[in-house]
Chains A and B, each alone.
Chain A
Amino acid sequence: GENVEQHPSTLSVQEGDSAVIKCTYSDSASNYFPWYKQELGKRPQLIIDIRSNVGEKKDQRIAVTLNKTAKHFSLHITETQPEDSAVYFCAASMPNTGNQFYFGTGTSLTVIP
């Protein structure tokens, strides 16, 4: 099956700075890459996603980039705010599997006021 690796496991940034989280995947058949934000004890919330036919996608302060050749994708959060503090997971999914995701190991982001 797919293997998704995520780095770093923890990340602390000053409020207003940018945060970058990186993921790699192993199966070139994967074609959908969502990013989730999870607060303690709650369900993951989709914050942005990208499909394999796109190299970059942006939504306000959040952007995701995808390099299919290298099989890695990254989450970029600019102008970070304390409420951005949470655990972020990347995931990969293959065609025709619906929502069968393989998740990265997570990044605990702390934004220091």
Chain B
Amino acid sequence: GAVVSQHPSWVICKSGTSVKIECRSLDFQATTMFWYRQFPKQSLMLMATSNEGSKATYEQGVEKDKFLINHASLTLSTLTVTSAHPEDSSFYICSAAPGAGYTFGSGTRLTVV
């Protein structure tokens, strides 16, 4: 079945630094990648939608200059959290389309200290 590999699974960074999260579709071409954020005990909130080769579409309230999304190939999308602050600490998870089975990555736990 369709698999999305997400790395890293967890990361701790200092406030003010940037962190890159990668999602790779391993056995299919992901024309679209969705990025979600999940705070503790809360639901998954869609942050942005990226289509291969074009600019990402951000949901209302999500800062595009802070959360940089790149989808340069059909198998790789990246989310870079720039100038991270403690309030950016969260669980970030990607989802790829078209992936049979509605394919989520394994998630990245980001902690900003």
Contact = CB atoms under 8 A, between A and B. Distances in A.
Most A CB contacts (10 A, CB to CB) among B45, B95, B96, B103 go to: B95
A103 interface: yes
Contact of B34 (A43, A100, A108): A100
Contacts of B103: 99
Nearest to B6: A43
Interface in B84-102: 91, 93, 95-99, 101-102
Interface residues of A, number: 19
Contacts of A46: 101-102
Interface of B: 31-32, 34, 41-46, 49, 59, 91, 93, 95-99, 101-107, 109
Given A99-B97, A101-B44, 6 more contacts: A41-B91, A99-B98, A100-B34, A100-B46, A103-B43, A104-B43
